[in-house]
């Protein structure tokens, strides 16, 4: 488990991270999002003990990262945005080196290295110098070093950057499987990947947490209960006339991608469930209702909305 309490990092008079608190539970994958300069990397660096906090605490499985650094760091595997590879080592040499400095027992090193290479699919690169690897394979080797020693906590900064679509799918499955045995904080700018991999999303903006919940709950909260998307087969004026018979709603429409149909977004002023009223209005007016579903707000829409007040960047 990760516990962050009133964490603050100040550079001079500028707050990069400003009094944030959150918890990541055992076996949870947390998507950590924010604009460039919002404080994501600074927060992750404080959690790992790479930099110290101005104030506040980071507790890793009960151990304070500053007061008990060795005990806390034994529980952490970290993949920074630029993997910390030694260019003149082969993949096998590098992972054996990581196993040694992480104090993996000598009798277990060979098996650990082999298992991790198979997990992230780099076995066929084991004898290649890391400097000759593509960006995607460097990311995989970086993930393997983070997983070495089977730490309880994994902190992954942009783990899918530089990967092609096939590699992204493979990495997504690896990370999702890690959530069954590890606590994971995942930072990424690829919001579709965050939605697919993470149990919960937290968005930071200008050093403050501005949203934290599951993607589904955030979408419902930002869309509102009384917002629908419908698709109909009828003239625009006829549909608007039918909808005008429902009190307290507003509607906007546009041509859909399906030929001969229109899509309408309908919003209730009182934020109530209007599905039955809309269905009955279409039926009374003889309008073919082809689709009706709650209006989905994407993670990208939520991200843009909660970070749109940024007037500049934190450090």
Give me the residue spans of the domains in the chain: 2-220, 225-294
pLDDT of 3 reads: 96
Cα–Cα distance between 76 and 147 in angstroms, integer? 9
Q: Where are the beta strands (DSSP E) in the chain?
A: 2-11, 14-24, 29-33, 55-60, 63-64, 76-79, 153-157, 183-187, 200-205, 208-213, 227-233, 249-255, 262-268, 288-294
Q: What is the CATH number of domain 225-294?
A: 3.30.70.100
pTM for the complete prediction? 0.77
- At residue 311, the pLDDT reads 42
Per-residue confidence (pLDDT) for residue 248, from 0 to 100? 87
Mean pLDDT by 10 residues, the chain (315 residues): 95 95 94 92 94 95 94 93 92 96 93 94 95 91 94 92 82 84 89 88 95 87 75 92 90 77 85 87 95 83 81 41
What CATH code would you report for 2-220? 3.40.50.300
């Amino acid at each position: 488990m990760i516990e962050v309490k009133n964490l603050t990092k100040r550079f001079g008079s500028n707050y990069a991270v400003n009094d944030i608190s959150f918890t990541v539970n055992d076996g949870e994958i947390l998507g950590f999002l924010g604009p460039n300069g919002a404080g994501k990397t600074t927060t992750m660096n404080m959690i790992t003990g790479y930099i110290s906090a101005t104030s506040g605490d980071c507790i890793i499985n009960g151990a304070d990262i500053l007061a008990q650094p060795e005990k806390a760091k034994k529980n952490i595997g970290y993949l920074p945005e630029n993997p910390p590879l030694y260019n003149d080592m082969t993949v096998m040499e590098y992972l054996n080196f990581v196993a040694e400095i992480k104090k993996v027992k000598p009798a277990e090193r060979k098996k650990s290295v082999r298992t991790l290479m198979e997990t992230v699919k780099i076995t066929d690169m084991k004898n290649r110098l890391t400097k000759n690897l593509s960006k995607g394979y460097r990311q995989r080797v970086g993930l393997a070093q983070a997983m070495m020693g089977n730490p309880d906590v994994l902190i992954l900064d942009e783990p899918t950057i530089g990967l092609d679509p096939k590699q992204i799918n493979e990495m997504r499955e690896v990370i999702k499987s890690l959530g069954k045995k590890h606590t994971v904080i995942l930072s990424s700018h690829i919001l579709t990947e965050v939605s697919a991999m993470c149990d919960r999303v937290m968005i930071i903006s200008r050093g403050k947490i501005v949203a934290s919940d599951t993607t589904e709950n955030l979408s419902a909260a930002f869309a509102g209960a009384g917002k629908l998307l419908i698709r109909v087969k009828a003239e625009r004026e006829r549909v608007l006339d039918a909808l005008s018979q429902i009190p307290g709603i507003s509607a906007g429409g546009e041509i859909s991608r399906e030929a001969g149909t229109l899509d309408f977004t309908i919003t209730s002023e009182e934020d109530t469930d209007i599905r039955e009223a809309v269905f009955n209005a279409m039926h009374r007016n003889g309008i073919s209702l082809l689709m009706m579903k709650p209006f989905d707000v994407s993670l990208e829409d939520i991200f843009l909305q909660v970070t749109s007040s940024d007037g500049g960047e934190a450090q």
